[in-house]
Chains A and B, each alone.
Chain A
Amino acid sequence: MSNQITNILLVGVGGQGILLASEILSEAAMLAGFDVKKSEIHGMSQRGGSVVSHVRYGAEVFSPIVPEGEGDILFGFELMETVRSLTLLKPGGTVVANDLQISPPSVLMGQETYPAELAERIKTQFADFLLVDGQKMATDAGNVRAANTVLLGAVSKRLDIAEEFWLKALQKMVPVKALQVNLCAFRMGREL
């Protein structure tokens, strides 16, 4: 039996809601009948530090972390973190990134500058690259805080998980009062 595993990396800054997004993704994959594993580090890596969440699904998944250089999709919530994690992606992999910059401490203190033209750099290395203005689209959908869901919608189009499972996962994981905005944000993302 073929055991094709899909490897997804969700990267960004602690506090951006990466864990919830990776949970919705895992739930959708399970509902679609796949074996799923996910892994990330809590604790010291929160408090505004870099966060990397690994999600893998397929017929049978062993390692919960994506083997180095085997990522199929890099799902970036912040540009510098997206570029930092490109090494986890396989050549020819897909990048879906939020067009957002969050300055790290050294930049805030004026000791370093935020790297310029990051989107262009990603583009030269990965042809399959989608840059999303998540904040703007989420605002259009009704709440800037649904930016992750716009991106999730964009990622969902690139995965072999039917829309019904995504919607079920969103209904299960998103609080009722925020559900309508998130469903709207998700659909906007799917149209990208």
Chain B
Amino acid sequence: MEGFVKVLKKLMRNPTSIAGLLLVLLFVAIAILAPVLAKPPYPDTPYQMPQNGWSSVPQPPSHEDIFGTTEGQYDIYYGIIWGTRTAFKLGIFVIGLALIIGLFVGTISAYFGGWVDEVLMRVTDIFLAFPFLVGVIVIVTMLGPGLNHVMWALVIFYWMGYARLIRGSVLEVKENDYVMAGRALGTPGARIITRHILPNSIYPILIQVSMDMATIPLTAAALSFLGLGAPVGYADWGQLVSFSRNWIISSSGGNPFAYWYTITYPSLAIILYAMGWNLLGDSLRDILDPRMLI
């Protein structure tokens, strides 16, 4: 706990890390306050963006829709607010599960070593033999599109990074005197892992989690953009961006700036969200990585 306060104090000293922290807090607030900021017209299906009409042409910002509407008249403001919840939901679910799998594989691999380590690491290698997005697309194709399937697909192809990271940290910590001392005293293996090894390898994981809170929702948004993620009308940033595609390249021959709002607001939401987590992760790395203390 004392270490945590120390880290927080260091974070508050650097303007970039303060900016990151504030951005993250802003989005956390938006996600929590979503029902207040954008009241769902149908409380049972809050993630379904309300449609203000049926026209296929986006409408510019007005008193009623302050960020304008997309094609099909989905309210952009509503989509961004509830899309924040979608992003957090995705991030927490995927990273949580990937972390559990990674902890399991990584600690077992490092602690027992030998052939257990060899087998587990070769299996990890096979999962790593795909570009991440390709693996996810294969699973989503087989399961069918949809946000739930995207979540599982992301978990299946995302745990390897954590497994390797945790294995590395455990290997490093394992050789320390206090672990040796614990062993010499006859402490059981599981207790050594949970009480001595894991708490001491927690910081690299923390940095990774912070970075991944940006990566995972962005990847899911990319899949929605490709038409493989959220169903049509679901509050999701990737889908909002994909709605803008046909309008900003001016296939209609008119002024391309006429539909600026369709891409500007959703893009801003995505970029600021990702920047918050990345700034935070980057600052944590600078504080916690001893190699950076030169």
A and B bound?
Answer: no
Seen from chain B, the residues whose Cβ lies within 8 Å of a Cβ on chain A are none
